[in-house]
Amino acid sequence: MRSQESALKRKAYKAKYYQDNKEAIQKRRKLNPKVTKEKSKEYYVRYKYGVDMSEIRAYFIVQKGRCAICDIYMDGKTNGTKPHIDHCHATKNIRGLLCHNCNVGIGHLKDSVDILKKSIKYLGGKIE
């Protein structure tokens, strides 16, 4: 019930704000045309990783459109095949492109080589 009340309050606040600032908002909208989904993604990638989309496309080409870990083709059409940018959280350096499952997997393993080695050993694999 509380969330419905707060949602209604937010909606009323936004409506009042728009009415109070209608001219300024319309002027700002004319100066800043609507951003497309692609442009929004480009801004996000540049902000978060410090690279432009051409570098991400280069990773995709070098990897032949495949996940750097499991080698699944990342066409983005079937569930879990959208390419994800994998990066080192400490240095922010991009390591490559991964499918959803591999990206989440190494994230849950906290990007730790030691935890990954223990996981391989647990599954009965050999570590050299």
What is the predicted pLDDT for the residue at 79?
Answer: 86
Walk along the chain (128 residues) and give the pLDDT tens digit of each residue: 567 888 889 999 999 999 999 999 888 888 887 888 888 899 999 999 999 999 999 999 999 999 999 999 999 888 888 999 999 888 889 999 999 999 999 999 998 999 999 999 999 988 77
> Among 76, 84, 86, which residue's Cα sits nearest to residue 100?
84
| DSSP sequence for 76-127 | SSSTT-S-EEEE-TTT--EEEEE-HHHHHHHHHTTT-HHHHHHHHHHTT---
What is the predicted pLDDT for the residue at 16?
Answer: 94
What is the predicted pLDDT for the residue at 1?
Answer: 52
Is the Cβ–Cβ distance between 96 and 63 less than 8 Å?
yes
Integer distance in angstroms from the first to the last C-alpha of the chain?
A: 57
What is the predicted pLDDT for the residue at 36?
Answer: 86
Q: How far apart are CA 92 and CA 89, in angstroms?
A: 5
**Fold category of 34-122 in CATH:** His-Me finger endonuclease fold (3.40.1800)
What is the predicted pLDDT for the residue at 7?
Answer: 86
Domain ranges within the chain, ordered by starting residue: 34-122
